[in-house]
Amino acid sequence: MPERPSRFDPASVRESWDFAADAYADGQASGNDHYRYAFFGPAQVHLCGEVAGTRVLDVGCGNGYFAREMARRGAKVTGIDISPRMIEHARRIEAAEPLGIDYEVLDAAGLAARFPAGAFDLVTSCVSIPDMPDVPAVLRGIQTVLRPGGRLVASITHPCTDTPVRAWETDEAGAKLSLKIDRYFERGPIEFTWKRNWPYVFKTAYWHVPLETWFDWILGAGFVLHALREPCPTEEGVAAHPDLADAARVPYFLMFDLIRP
Ligand SMILES: C[S@@+](CC[C@H](N)C(=O)[O-])C[C@H]1O[C@@H](n2cnc3c(N)ncnc32)[C@H](O)[C@@H]1O
């Protein structure tokens, strides 16, 4: 049964990600997150295309993973996150490896009040938007701060497989047979417990809504769909990192490439 969070508002999100931030930073620094480093991260970077010389805003930047990917490719990057502790980590990493990234603590629902209209060529968001309590307000704000013709390139966990009920069915030997999913059409926040590969256990909340609701939110904010991607690891990727095999069977991530008309 899905766990429902007792609260899902800016204060509760800030608190839970502040608590998670040290474990999240240590877990990323370990390099063991093959999903991020060998799969969905490179796929999202690829979808962004050429970014040298562009003004990029990374929304829900965490400790700066995707902001750094953009800055290393020559973009002028600003990263914002609601969690002060996440931004402390991002600034610590920036001090150790300067890439010219500006970080600030900000609720993404307040983008339009913070940045001038049309201030950015590209907005990115790496697996963060579902964690934001007011997704329609965030998307409208991103529209405002993008220049006309600018893009939002965002990744989310795939709503068709990241359902309230989800489990791999296995045979007696433990081999995965198929992914059991249920309650896809339920709309609402889910509380996720991060247990595996992290220095300590933490919980965060995120939206599960059906795909059609994502499109209602995206089109309702005024974006035009330029491309939709369901990344799949390559055979070589799975050979190098066998834990990626699950994601070569069913879609784990969904990426939107959206244009502000
Ligand atoms: C799953 S983490 C991803 C972080 C980073 N993009 C990465 O790839 O490592 C989600 C992030 O979204 C941030 N977040 C959640 N709600 C937010 C909001 N309303 N405004 C800004 N950031 C938010 C959290 O603090 C957290 O750092």
Please give the span between the terminal C-alpha atoms of the chain, in angstroms, as a whole number.
41
Q: Quick one: the chain helix, strand, coil %, rounded to 5?
A: 40, 30, 35
Give the pLDDT of residue 31.
87
CA of 192 to the centre of ligand 1 (A): 14
Q: How far is residue 222's CA from residue 258's CA, in Å, rounded to a whole number?
A: 10
Q: Which residue CA neighbors atom 2 of ligand 1 most closely?
A: 128
Give the pLDDT of residue 197.
79
CB 78 within 8 A of CB 91: no
Each residue's pLDDT, cut to its tens digit, for the chain (261 residues) gives 668 999 999 999 999 999 999 999 999 998 889 999 999 999 999 999 999 999 999 999 999 999 999 999 999 999 999 999 999 999 999 999 999 999 999 999 999 999 999 999 999 999 999 999 999 999 999 999 999 999 999 999 999 999 999 999 999 999 999 999 999 999 999 999 998 778 899 999 999 999 999 999 999 999 999 999 999 999 999 999 999 999 999 999 999 999 999
CA of 174 to the centre of ligand 1 (A): 34
Q: How far is residue 228's CA from residue 246's CA, in Å, rounded to a whole number?
A: 21
CA of 21 to the centre of ligand 1 (A): 10
